[in-house]
Amino acid sequence: MERIQPGDALIVVDVQNDFCPGGALAVPDGDAVVPVINRIMRAFPVVVATQDWHPDGHISFASRHVGREPFQVVQIEGTEQVLWPDHCVEGTPGADLHPDLDATALRVVLRKGTNPEVDSYSAFVENDRMTTTGLAGLLRELGVQRVFLGGLATDVCVRATALDGRRAGFQVILLEDACRAVDVPPGNLEKALEEMKAADVPILRTDELEA
């Protein structure tokens, strides 16, 4: 069993309507993470949620690129970019946190992907690898040393948050049953899990936590 300690935080990644069944970019079984996360949230001293919060015409939207389709991969200024359906547009219901998520347990909600020209998967650093979100500094101010991750999607924003959390000097633990994957392209989930393991990110289940 892994005991939750002072200095631990839970980061709830992008549990938003557009990433859940019926949403614009639904992760298969994405809403199944909600009861799992709700069950453990209040055991953590600090809980942070992230939201994709894109302006209309965001650079990651396939609709912005003439002749391109969702899930195609393009190069934008030397950076590989997956083109997604329009999703989590700021101020729309799709961008809202899932209504069943216990938002009263959240200490902070961090919005990312707000720059129309830069995508943002990680809760720590945007995809240009230069723009930080401020989360690392906030967690340090709150005395956080170890972060646990749940949310959507395992192989996209959760993966990026895990790897950048390690680069920022935090211990990071993935809560596998509190996440779901999109697995685009096929095999992406397996690749992401291997990358996280290689970065010394243990993979646990929530029933292995002890408050």
Per the annotation, the verdict on 155 as an active-site residue is no
**C-beta of residue 142 within 8 angstroms of C-beta of residue 9:** yes
Q: Is 112 a catalytic residue?
A: yes
**What's phi and psi for 18, nearest 5 deg?**
-70, -20
Task: Catalytic residue, from 20, 88, 157, 179: name it.
Answer: 157
| 191 is known as an active-site residue | no
Judge whether 153 and 182 are in contact, CB under 8 Å: yes
Out of 18, 52, 88, 112, the active site residue is: 112
Separation between Cα atoms, residue 13 and residue 33, nearest integer Å = 11
Active site residues: 14, 112, 157
